Structure 1
């Protein structure tokens, strides 16, 4: 039997809307996640990622690099962290790219526990 405490589940949240970023950070912290919030895909690519278990939550429509473009760079770097893409009305091409990169899509508006459920599933 292990006496080590359970690993802290961390979310790296990337959204350029400061109000939404703050609201999602608050919601995810209430759900028991540690949250690192970043304002852009470029900031994500420059950040030191926390140790596992960690899940990326990326807005697709970021200023600069999109969520999927930033995720593609991470995948090229061999970062295989689970990822959730949040977006409104994703096109077929967005869905296909997300699937190819191993990201689950949660559509806005984020209702109920949909985002936390997707993160928990990705971390399982």
Structure 2
């Protein structure tokens, strides 16, 4: 049986590589992209179980990308990663049914969030 796929969008090559590595160690395959536009230009209609999006991307931001994916019928659980989110932003993330994980990504917080929501969805500000 193939490994579950996580879609990952982060414009920082070091962060993207680090997240991909952490998820791959846990047994996930990672389809990583450096921008929202790069993801949207692909046929990502795969068996992905989760979408991890940096909010502060060049071009489309993470929430706009998520709205575009939802409009295209992608209902996979989503995690938005960002630093220093104000409460208003936390509410926006919760309102779209995503989960927020705050940077810096310490220990295995993101991996634990992927494990948790991949099967259950869920919204939460961590």
Give the TM-score normalised by structure 2. 0.87
State the Cα deviation string for residues 22-45 of structure 1 (Å, max 9, x = none).
111111111111001100011122
List 4+ stretches of structure 1 deviating above 3 A.
none
1:96 aligned partner: 91
Aligned counterpart in structure 1 of residue 27 of structure 2, from 8, 28, 32: 32
Mapping of residues 34-73 of structure 1, within 5 Å: 34-73=29-68
1:18 aligned partner: 13
> Which consecutive unaligned segments of at least 5 residues does structure 2 have?
120-126
Name the SS of the counterpart of 2:20 in structure 1. Answer: helix
Distance 1:53 1:47 in 2: 14
Shift of 1:18: 0.8
Distance 1:95 1:76 in 2: 21
Root-mean-square deviation over aligned CA pairs:
1.4
Shift of 1:78: 2.3
Q: Is the 8 A contact 2:55 2:62 kept in 1?
A: yes
Tell me the matched-pair count. Answer: 119
Q: Does 1:85 align with 2:80?
A: yes
Give the TM-score normalised by structure 1. 0.88
